[in-house]
Amino acid sequence: MDQRIKHEQLNLLFSGLPSSLVATMVLLALAIGLTDTGNAVLACSALLVVSALRLGLWFAYGRSARRENVAWGDLFFVGCVAAGAAWGATSIILFPHEDIAGQAFLAFLLSGVQRAVSLR
């Protein structure tokens, strides 16, 4: 019974990953479009790499026939931590300390994403 619940939880997590990655790309485009820093390419590349790795994880999970032999939950967690770290680094690069309006925009952007995800 416990294994079946864990399997369903993983299915739910991985089924939401593609829409999460699309939202990440949209938010990244918005954040870069609304800033005028020269380091936007650096921030974009870090998030693109993390998102590509998470997309690869999604494909691997979908193709895996024996899902019980891999720690998919741990891999998903590592991907979430990496995405959070990439967003944190991106916020430092895109919205420097002096840019109060940019910081407020990012705070509302991330809180809106969190709210949308929690409603799902």
One DSSP character per residue, 79-112 reads: HHHHHHHHHHHHHHHHS-TT-HHHHHHHHHHHHH
Nearby residues of 44 by Cβ (< 8 Å), 6 or more positions away: 28, 32
Over residues 14-45, the pLDDT tens digits come to 888 898 888 888 888 877 777 766 677 777 78
- Give 120's DSSP letter: -
pLDDT for res 30 = 78
DSSP string, 34-58: T---TTHHHHHHHHHHHHHHHHHHH
pLDDT band at 11 (very low <50, low <70, confident <90, very high): confident
- Average of per-residue pLDDT across 5-16: 85
**What pLDDT is recorded for position 114?**
57
**CA 54 to chain centroid:** 8
What tens digit of pLDDT does each residue of 40-81 get?
A: 777 778 888 999 999 999 998 888 766 665 688 888 888 888
Q: Rounded to two decimals, what is the model's pTM?
A: 0.75
- What's the confidence (pLDDT) of residue 23? 83
For 39, phi and psi rounded to 5 degrees? -95, 15
Count of domains observed in the chain: 1
Residue 81: what pLDDT? 85
d(CA 95, CA 118): 26
66: containing domain: 2-119
pLDDT in tens, 78-110: 888 888 888 877 777 777 677 777 777 777 776
44 with 89: CB under 8 angstroms? no
